Amino acid sequence: MATPSVLDKIKGQSSNGKSTARKLCLVASKGSLDMAYPPLILANAARMSGIDVDIYFTFWGLDIITKSKMNKVNMSTVGNPAFSMAPYAPWFKIPTWMGIIPGMSRIATWMMNREIAKLDFPPIPEFIETLVDTGARLYGCKMSMDMMNLTEDDLVDGAEILGAMEFMEISKDAQVMFV
């Protein structure tokens, strides 16, 4: 028989077959490309580690799970003082006024999508599909949906509508992160 400490070490990592105590609730409130990925990446990392995940999409974050918009999530080039040409020319800080030049957002979106693909991260629609398959639960904020005249049919398969008070219920024993 192997020494208990070895077995404990091995067991320590795992919660296989048991429900995990840890739960994460993410609020995704932004609809620009650079702000859409962080909650998705964190949610996926949590599921890969066996942590339970709920993602609540609210305001512009709803675009990420809206069928007609999820393919068109763009980089915003205005109002971002950190905007630069990284990784092509990290020394070139793009002046904020330049962000308003027509076509800048499209170029920035194209570049970022290319860099994301290079790292083998999926495009947003595929990422959402993967997250549903991992068992992450996706919710559209009821108030935001009413405001934007959306119904459950407008959301990706697997997403549900949830009110703010219901979000309080599901996030009761969870760590909550607002993005």
Partner 1 sequence: MTLTIDLSILENLEFDDDGFMVDHDVWTPEIGAAIAAVLEIEMSARHWDVINFVRKEYETNGEAPTLRRITKAGGIPTKELYTLFTGGPAKIAAQVAGLAKPTGCI
Contact residues toward partner 1 (CB under 8 A) are 1-3, 6-7, 9-18, 20, 41, 44-45, 47-51, 119-122, 130, 133-135
Cβ proximity to partner 1, 100 vs 117, nearer residue:
117
d(CA 105, CA 34): 12
Cβ proximity to partner 1, 41 vs 98, nearer residue:
41
Residue 103 CA, chain-centre distance (Å), reads 25
Cβ proximity to partner 1, 41 vs 89, nearer residue:
41
Residues in the chain: 179
Cβ proximity to partner 1, 13 vs 149, nearer residue:
13
Distance in Å, CB of 44 to partner 1, minimum: 7
Distance in Å, CB of 113 to partner 1, minimum: 15
- Identify which of 17, 52, 16 has the alpha carbon closest to the alpha carbon of residue 170: 52
Residue 137 backbone phi and psi in degrees, to 5: -100, 135
Distance in Å, CB of 64 to partner 1, minimum: 17
51 neighbors 21 (Cβ within 8 angstroms): no
What is 122-156 written as a DSSP string?
PPHHHHHHHHHHHT-EEEEEHHHHHHTT--GGGBP
Look up residue 31 and give its DSSP letter.
Answer: -
d(CA 35, CA 41): 11
Cβ proximity to partner 1, 116 vs 176, nearer residue:
116
